Amino acid sequence: MESSIDKNYIEFILWRFFAKIVQKISFQKISKLAKILAYIFYYLIPIRKKIVISNLKKAFPNKTKKDISKIAFMNYINTGTTFMEIMAFQKMEAEEILKIGTVSNLELAKEKIENGKGVILLTAHFSNWEFGALFMGLILNKQINVLVKKQRNRFVANWMSEVREKFKNKEISLGVSVRELYKTLVSGGIVGIVGDQRAKKDSGVIVKYFKQPTSTFQGFSALGIKNKVPIIVVLGHRLVDGKYHIEIEEIKYDNLPLALPEQIRELNQRYMQILENNVVKYPEQWLWMHNIWKY
């Protein structure tokens, strides 16, 4: 137990030390540092490289080996940029966050929120999902109750909580009573969910993602159907200048099957199709290090 605590604390000290370095450089230079780190962790000390390459080959079977390698390396740059930006967010003010993002179709989200029925904002591990939550909370001037899975290292987890709750948002830990999520929606609140994580084989809802059978969680669909609340997909992509553009799209309940399990499956499929459409446009910006097709 003692060694575990020491290990976690040492990891946190290193995290905080690196964060302070990142916070001293300009936000625009983060991607340059990320490129250096990408060379290290892609070529010299490969981390999850086999999973990234395998996933990309399954998703894009017609791409050449050279194209796959190029996307994979750019993906390491994107991932490094994302985590260093999160470090930078700790010291950034609301005005600075708002300056690096634009959004289209914002009126759709505002309209659904103003109905007072509660809203599910659904995103994915695409570009910088933590930025999306901070930006949307600020631009909507609303509290987003972000569903999160606590990290193994409680020191880093607490640090992340401070960043996520720096402005208006609030964390809800995964595994907390479902009643709290229902209560939030019934009271007209906003629940933010990252919905593209792999579910367990025996409990997941199988849909197609890049034509691959993919196990997904039923959570957001079950919540939406149960509470009859809008489900809004919020996905931002990183622009060449390092800023973000966020696009908003509603998952409609039209033409669903009669049986509840099939309704959940169909809603999950609609979400994964929206995600796939975005990943096709910007393949380097999805988190391919996640072993989505483990089963």
> For 212-262, how does the pLDDT look when each residue is reduced to its tens digit (9 = 90+)?
999 999 989 999 999 999 999 999 999 999 999 999 999 999 999 999 999
Asked if the structure places residue 201 within a domain, the reply is yes
Q: What are phi and psi of 162, to 5 degrees?
A: -65, -40
270 torsion bin: left (phi>0), alpha (psi -120 to 50), beta (else): alpha
* Number of neighbours of residue 42 by Cβ within 10 angstroms: 21
Asked if the structure places residue 192 within a domain, the reply is yes
Would you place residue 279 in the very low, low, confident or very high pLDDT band (cuts 50, 70, 90)?
A: very high
Asked if residue 59 has pLDDT above 80, the reply is yes
pLDDT computed for residue 4 by the predictor:
52
Asked if the structure places residue 294 within a domain, the reply is no
pLDDT computed for residue 151 by the predictor:
83
pLDDT computed for residue 248 by the predictor:
98
CA distance 71 to 58: 13
Per residue in 99-153, pLDDT (tens digit) is 999 999 999 999 999 988 899 999 999 999 999 999 999 999 999 999 998 788 9
Asked if residue 62 has pLDDT above 80, the reply is yes
Whether the model clears a pTM of 0.85, i.e. scores above it, the answer is yes
Contacts 24+ apart (CB under 8 A), 20-23: 22/84, 22/87, 22/88, 23/87, 23/88, 23/90, 23/91
pLDDT computed for residue 3 by the predictor:
55
Asked if the structure places residue 239 within a domain, the reply is yes
- How large is the average pLDDT for residues 26-37? 95
Residue 251 DSSP one-character state? E
pLDDT computed for residue 38 by the predictor:
97
Residue 152 DSSP one-character state? S
C-alpha closest to that of 189 among 169, 167, 213: 169
Residues 176/185, Cβ–Cβ less than 8 Å: no
CA distance 177 to 192: 16
Number of domains in the chain: 1
Asked if the structure places residue 137 within a domain, the reply is yes
H helix intervals, the chain: 2-24, 30-39, 49-59, 65-89, 94-99, 106-114, 129-140, 154-164, 178-186, 219-227, 260-281
Q: Which domain holds residue 208?
A: 2-285
Asked if the structure places residue 10 within a domain, the reply is yes
Asked if the structure places residue 176 within a domain, the reply is yes
**In the block, residue with structure tokens 């625009």:** 28
Asked if residue 76 has pLDDT above 80, the reply is yes
Asked if the structure places residue 295 within a domain, the reply is no
Among 2-6, 191-195, 274-278, the least confident range? 2-6
Asked if residue 1 has pLDDT above 50, the reply is no
CA distance 69 to 56: 9
Looking at the chain, the whole-number percentage of residues with pLDDT higher than 90 is 87
Tokens of 254: 């039209």
Would you place residue 176 in the very low, low, confident or very high pLDDT band (cuts 50, 70, 90)?
A: low
pLDDT computed for residue 174 by the predictor:
79
pLDDT computed for residue 285 by the predictor:
98
What is the average pLDDT value for the chain, to the nearest integer?
94
Would you place residue 185 in the very low, low, confident or very high pLDDT band (cuts 50, 70, 90)?
A: very high
- How large is the average pLDDT for residues 290-295? 92
CA distance 177 to 147: 12
pLDDT computed for residue 150 by the predictor:
79
CA distance 274 to 268: 10
Instruction: Classify residue 244 by burial, with Cβ atoms within 10 Å: 0-12, 13-18, 19+.
Output: buried
